[in-house]
Amino acid sequence: MGPWRALVATPADTALTAVLALLLGWAGWGIFGWAFGRAQWLVVRANAATLMVGRYPEPQQWRLWLLLGMLVSLAGVSWGLLRGRGAWPRNDRLAVAGLGGATLVLPPLLALGAVNQLRLLLLFALLLLLRWALARWSGHPAVLRFASAWGAVWAVAYLGGLWLIAGGLGLPTVRPADWGGWMFTLLITSLTLLLALPLGVLLALGRRSELPLLRWLSVAYIELIRGAPLITLLFLGQNLVGFLVPGGLAPDRVWRAAAVLTGFAAAYLAEAVRGGLTAVPRGQMEAARSLGLSSALTIRHVLLPQALRVALPAMVGQCIALLQDTTLLSIIGLFDLLGTARSVLANPDWLGRYAEVYLVLAVLYWCSCAALSMGSRALEQRLSISRDRATVPPSTPSPTAA
Amino acid sequence: MRRLIQRLLPAVAAAALLPLAGCGGGDTGIGAGRLAAIKARGQLICGVDGKLPGFSYQDQGNYVGIDVDVCRALAAALFNDPNKVEFRELTSSERFTALASGEIDVLSRNTTYTLSRDASGGNGLDFGPTIYFDGQGVMVPRASGITSLKGLAGKTICVENGTTTELNLADRFREQAIPYTPVKYQTGDQTYGAYLQGRCAAVTSDRSQLAAKKTSFPDPEAHVLLPEVLSKEPLGPVTVNNDSALADALRWVVFATMQAEESGITSANLKEKLAFARANPNQADLRRFLGVEGEFGKQLGLPADFVPRVLTAVGNYGEMFERNVGQQSKLKLDRGLNRSYRQGGLIYSPPFR
Amino acid sequence: MSALPWWRDRRRLGWLIQLAVGLVVLLAIALLLGNLERNLTRAGLRLSFTWLNDPAGFDIAETLLPYTAQSSYAMGLLAGFVNTLRVVVVGLVLATVLGVASGAASLSRNPLLAGVMRTYVEVVRNVPLLLQLVFWYFAVFLALPAAAEALRLPGLTLAKSGVFLGPVSLVNGELSGGWRLSLELAALLTGLVVYSGAFIAEVVRGGIISVPRGQWEAAASLGLKPTTTLREVVLPQALRVIVPGLNSQYISLAKNSSLAVAIGYPDLYAVAETTLNQTGRGIEVFLILLTVYLGLDLGISLLMNRLAHLVRIRER
């Protein structure tokens, strides 16, 4: 039965289809009328830069462009390496079409300056070029040598990015209080993730450890954190950390929030990793042990590589949840994307323009989450996980544990 | 691929751990007293609102306002540089814990001086001189036709969470047996946003704040303050309890701006007055005040010339007022109670002797 | 006997590791508590809960308890907790209805219906809940017309002064009658239900898929209608998969209700924040919050475990 036939298979189906089509048409027409009629998109155009980088001082914004260029290059290289020669699967074509469309359409819509439009186009071209070149010569020995240092390159680039954003060492310092917008959201998400991953793996190992004390401590920590709403933990970070450290030593609010998010994400990641650990057959451990490998070596070379592969979809789900959870920082007065948007909307000039701004934010978050799950699916296939697993969509963030 | 993961993991771990190293530093301990710590740090950390025109807000990247000027005055007294201040924006909910936990040195955030906030059994704070004598007011849309508190019976009132305002609101309306519903928001932004969207029939806050916010409304004339004053709201800077060195320094820096107005010293005529004081040994009051003789500064742990430094940086109290909230500002607030006592106001400095 | 050096002796090494970790954890806790004690003493804030009996002094916009500004802080927090419970209980029921309906509908043979439901789930799950809440509150509910031009649907009236269920009448420009929900509560419920509904839909969908196709075919060959098959054959089996999944979704919903503070609804967290502001008792307020939310989670878990037990027993 073809899809069109299914729409009118029985009289009941026909009626349902008709009602739904009417409803959809009505809703679509309403949204269309609003978007091109009553909506005033000037608020987004006028605040595009603020939404992207918050109050980051304008004379220093070239640093962020440089950072973006660096990220784009690395993304292009990684993409090419990941795909290998000649492959442009559907996901890739979709991504190229989406990114290309966005690069061509969005800047004029936002009335960005000619220079910035050109920069974005160049960045897109750079991405494609690197993606193509790396895939084209993916078998070349020089590329292989480079690929083997891939992780180190990313790590160095990440630290360089932090330096570009924060300044110091010759660059003028930009205080965390002035970081904001989309940049801040991405920064805090990535930083938290990097810190939480090793912590989460340790907690998961601890929870399955044969040593009772480690097991109890891990269980207590994981369950306590997972039981509390994130907002109460952020409350702890903002209001009480100052009391828990020697007077005056409390780090900046941004770092305290990052620390809380890290501890929070680690507990959830630990549960994701634990799922992977249970999937590794006991025999693997016993075999490794009987070969005389120490516990540490067994964990590092036998247990973790297998467990992390299995746990990948769940872990990506947690990353997506974490990205969404960063919006809670706006409640404690930090300027993540949502916080920045709310401060923009506090300006009486933009009174009542909530729908326009929040819709743009929703699209941005949605695209990022979708991109994350697309990327994870690609990585998963690349890691050649067994067929039945690869078909499970990894885009399953557990609901934000507020 | 496994090798790739193995190579990746240590790199990721390294990348993850390095930023931590940068997190803790920058602040100095408390121990010997906050004033010493501030001096050692070379910078004052001041908690402000940051979004309240006239009191503290950002103008082209610089903080300005009367609350801000108090911090700048103290920084000028300590370091001879009004810019050696780091401002931290705090919500009304965070401000006291930020102070109590030592995150900020001074809280200068339109904070009302009350017994329970001052008492060591309460919030345990220490208040500096009042820099703005305010009172709580209520603002309504002109079109609503409401002219007194009684007119608000059964209506909804928007109020910011964590302020004395919400307590006064409850008290006044209970006394007069007027039923009402408070809708509370975490920040002033949301409170005024909801009011402007028509969620509430009225919004309540300090009268100065209402006046300040009104100037930024799309149509300021469409809103009107009710005549009733709901409370006394003496606003001033705050320090943590049990640290008199810092509290005294702050107190006398603020008093210096008030004394200067009483003595007719402004940032404009400061140089002449200094020259005059130096040239005339019989002008003892003036000489002591400006630090030409005596050791008032030393007694406070401040430099001898702290008064001229303060006046150069922010001017006297009258200048601060007019520049930030008075006739030279958008707010155009009347000085009212905030006149010098010589003009019948409440601004009065204890003697510098 | 002593051929094994100590660092290769698993048992001894295990004890050593535990000893070291235990010491480090203890030291860290001792250090933190010591700092806490020192800092609190310096600020003159000794740990105590006696202030809970002091009059709170602030009003709460909506409460089911006889709370006034003269009531104690404890009473205020309780009123907040009751408000939280109200949202959680109503939200649970509505989200379950929405989730089960859309989960089942996403498996419909009608591709349009299934597509609409899949889109709903994919859109809602990839947009942060807080963003959805502020959208519902500021962009939708605050944009409602005033009472005089209220939106009237059958049995439902929407205006700036609130959401009214049942018949209402307009008296002196004010709506009265019916059952009134404040805009804050209405927005919070809408946001939570739409969000949790999408996750529950996925749980339900997964549960139904987990039932082998053969069961459907067997039921069909017995001449059962698809709806009967779903109700009598598939759901009872699917429930065993669904109930544990629902458990975690319900706990999430309970925790997510704390986002109410962002849109002005006086739930437990919001009242706790007010209490902190008026008393400066950060540690005590945090401990209360933590205990109550953990208790709430535990309560939901216990109930759901009972339910899981019931589902299992009925199967046998």
The set of residues, in sequence order, having a beta carbon less than 8 Å from that of A22 and lying 6+ positions away, is none
For chain C, the farthest-separated pair of C-alpha atoms sits apart, in whole angstroms, at 96
Given a contact cutoff of 8 angstroms between Cβ atoms, the answer to whether C120 and C198 are in contact is yes
Residue-wise pLDDT tens digits, B208-245: 889 888 888 888 899 999 999 999 999 999 998 888 99
Given a contact cutoff of 8 angstroms between Cβ atoms, the answer to whether B231 and B164 are in contact is yes
Residue C280 to residue B240, Cβ atoms within 8 A: no
Evaluate whether residue B1 is within a structural domain: no
C-alpha B341/C-alpha B74 separation (Å) is 24
pLDDT for the residue A371: 84
Query: Are B252 and B340 part of one and the same domain?
Result: yes
Q: Taking CA atoms, what residue in A is nearest to C105? A: A16
pLDDT for the residue A86: 66
Residues 76-135 of A with CB under 8 A from B: none
Residue-wise pLDDT tens digits, A348-363: 778 888 999 999 999 9
Query: Are B243 and B101 part of one and the same domain?
Result: yes
Evaluate whether residue B17 is within a structural domain: no
Judged against a pLDDT cut of 50, whether residue B16 lies above it is answered with no
Query: Are B32 and B113 part of one and the same domain?
Result: yes
Query: Are B131 and B197 part of one and the same domain?
Result: no
Evaluate whether residue A44 is within a structural domain: yes
Q: For residue C71, which residues of chain B lie inside 8 Å, CB to CB?
A: none
Note whether A147 contacts B: Cβ–Cβ < 8 A.
yes
pLDDT for the residue C149: 84
Angle between helices C282-315 and C268-279 (to 10 degrees): 160
DSSP one-letter code for C50: G
pLDDT for the residue A249: 66
Query: Are B191 and B269 part of one and the same domain?
Result: no
Residue B7 to residue A148, Cβ atoms within 8 A: yes
Give a three-class secondary structure readout of C129-166.
HHHHHHHHHHHHHCCCCCHHHCEEECCEEEECCEEEEC
pLDDT band at A324 (very low <50, low <70, confident <90, very high): very high
Judged against a pLDDT cut of 50, whether residue B13 lies above it is answered with no
B156 phi and psi angles, rounded to 5 deg: -100, 140
Q: For residue A342, which residues of chain C lie inside 8 Å, CB to CB?
A: 134
Judged against a pLDDT cut of 70, whether residue B304 lies above it is answered with yes
Query: Are B237 and B323 part of one and the same domain?
Result: yes
Note whether A247 contacts B: Cβ–Cβ < 8 A.
yes
CATH number at residue B242: 3.40.190.10
Evaluate whether residue A27 is within a structural domain: no
pLDDT for the residue A384: 58
pLDDT for the residue A79: 82
Residues shown for chain A: 402
Decide: helix, strand or coil at residue C53: helix
Given a contact cutoff of 8 angstroms between Cβ atoms, the answer to whether A48 and A110 are in contact is yes
Judged against a pLDDT cut of 50, whether residue B18 lies above it is answered with no
Judged against a pLDDT cut of 80, whether residue A30 lies above it is answered with yes
Q: For residue C184, which residues of chain B lie inside 8 Å, CB to CB?
A: 183
ipTM value: 0.88
Q: Taking CA atoms, what residue in A is nearest to C192? A: A399
pLDDT for the residue B245: 93
C-alpha C41/C-alpha B101 separation (Å) is 11
Given a contact cutoff of 8 angstroms between Cβ atoms, the answer to whether A319 and A273 are in contact is no
Query: Are B352 and B248 part of one and the same domain?
Result: yes
Single pTM value for the model = 0.85
Taking residues C59-77, report their average pLDDT. 91
A227 phi and psi angles, rounded to 5 deg: -85, -20
Given a contact cutoff of 8 angstroms between Cβ atoms, the answer to whether C288 and C77 are in contact is yes
Judged against a pLDDT cut of 90, whether residue C97 lies above it is answered with yes
Residue-wise pLDDT tens digits, A254-300: 888 999 999 999 999 999 999 889 888 888 888 888 888 877 888 88
Task: Give the DSSP H/E element, type plus range, for residue B209.
Answer: helix B207-216
Q: How far is B120 from chain C (nearest CA, A)?
A: 6
Residue-wise pLDDT tens digits, B145-200: 999 999 999 899 999 887 788 899 999 999 999 999 999 998 888 899 899 989 99
B225, B260, B287 - which closes a domain: B225
Q: Taking CA atoms, what residue in A is nearest to C11? A: A211
pLDDT for the residue A204: 94
Closest Cβ opposite residue B182 in set C57, C61, C261:
C61
Pick the residue of A153, A174, A195, A357 with the most B CBs within 10 A to test the interface with B by mutation: A195
Closest Cβ opposite residue B16 in set A195, A308, A343:
A195
pLDDT for the residue C85: 96
Number of domains making up chain B: 2
CATH number at residue A221: 1.10.3720.10
C-alpha C180/C-alpha B154 separation (Å) is 15
Taking residues B303-331, report their average pLDDT. 93
Judged against a pLDDT cut of 80, whether residue C282 lies above it is answered with yes
Between A112 and C162, the more confident residue is: C162
- Ranges assigned E (strand) in B166-321: 180-185, 202-206, 223-225, 233-240
Note whether A259 contacts C: Cβ–Cβ < 8 A.
no
Given a contact cutoff of 8 angstroms between Cβ atoms, the answer to whether A94 and A144 are in contact is no
Which pair of tokens denotes residue C170?
């307009």
Closest Cβ opposite residue A250 in set B11, B102, B193:
B102
Query: b/e string for C135-157 if b means 16 or more Cβ within 10 A?
Result: bbbbbbbbebeebeebeeeeeeb
C-alpha A361/C-alpha A219 separation (Å) is 37
Taking residues A98-104, report their average pLDDT. 87
Query: Are B184 and B259 part of one and the same domain?
Result: no
Q: How far is C294 from chain B (nearest CA, A)?
A: 24
Taking residues A55-82, report their average pLDDT. 86
Q: Which amino acid is at C241?
A: V
Half-sphere exposure in the Cβ direction for A80 (13 Å, CA)? 26
Residue C59 to residue B197, Cβ atoms within 8 A: no
Whole-number average pLDDT of chain A: 84
Q: For residue A147, which residues of chain B lie inside 8 Å, CB to CB?
A: 4
Evaluate whether residue B40 is within a structural domain: yes
Q: For residue B197, which residues of chain C lie inside 8 Å, CB to CB?
A: 138, 142-143
Cα C197 from chain centroid (whole Å):
12
Q: For residue A333, which residues of chain B lie inside 8 Å, CB to CB?
A: 89-91, 94, 187
Q: For residue A345, which residues of chain B lie inside 8 Å, CB to CB?
A: 189, 193
Evaluate whether residue A167 is within a structural domain: no
Domain that holds residue A222: 39-56+174-390
pLDDT for the residue A3: 65
Taking residues A213-226, report their average pLDDT. 93
Task: Give the DSSP H/E element, type plus range, for residue B56.
Answer: strand B56-59
Given a contact cutoff of 8 angstroms between Cβ atoms, the answer to whether C160 and C147 are in contact is yes
Query: Are B198 and B88 part of one and the same domain?
Result: no
pLDDT band at C3 (very low <50, low <70, confident <90, very high): low
B225, B245, B267 - which closes a domain: B225
Whole-number average pLDDT of chain C: 88
pLDDT for the residue B47: 94
B-C contacts (CB, under 8 Å): 92
Number of domains making up chain A: 1
Evaluate whether residue B79 is within a structural domain: yes
Whole-number average pLDDT of chain B: 87
Evaluate whether residue B304 is within a structural domain: yes
Residue-wise pLDDT tens digits, C21-44: 899 999 999 988 888 888 777 766
Evaluate whether residue B185 is within a structural domain: yes
Evaluate whether residue B349 is within a structural domain: yes
Give a three-class secondary structure readout of chain A.
CCHHHHHCCCHHHHHHHHHHHHHHHHHHHHHHHHHHHHCCCHHHHHCHHHHHHCCCCHHHCHHHHHHHHHHHHHHHHHHHHHHCCCCCCHHHHHHHHHHHHHHHHHHHHCCCCHHHHHHHHHHHHHHHHHHHHHHHCCCCHHHHHHHHCHHHHHHHHHHHHHHHHHCECCECCCCHHHCCHHHHHHHHHHHHHHHHHHHHHHHHHHHCCCCHHHHHHHHHHHHHHHHCCHHHHHHHHHHHHHHHCCCCCCCCHHHHHHHHHHHHHHHHHHHHHHHHHHHCCHHHHHHHHHCCCCHHHHHHHHHHHHHHHHHHHHHHHHHHHHHHHHHHHHCCCCCEHHHHHHHHHHCHHHCCCHHHHHHHHHHHHHHHHHHHHHHHHHHHHHCCCCHHHHCCCCCCCCCCCC
Domain that holds residue B325: 28-135+233-353
pLDDT band at A393 (very low <50, low <70, confident <90, very high): very low
Judged against a pLDDT cut of 80, whether residue A246 lies above it is answered with no
Which pair of tokens denotes residue A207?
């929870």
Residue given tokens 């004052």 in the structure block = B44
Query: Are B202 and B55 part of one and the same domain?
Result: no
Pick the residue of A143, A244, A252 with the most B CBs within 10 A to test the interface with B by mutation: A252
Q: How far is B106 from chain A (nearest CA, A)?
A: 12
Query: Are B126 and B140 part of one and the same domain?
Result: no
Q: For residue B163, which residues of chain C lie inside 8 Å, CB to CB?
A: 277
Note whether A197 contacts B: Cβ–Cβ < 8 A.
yes
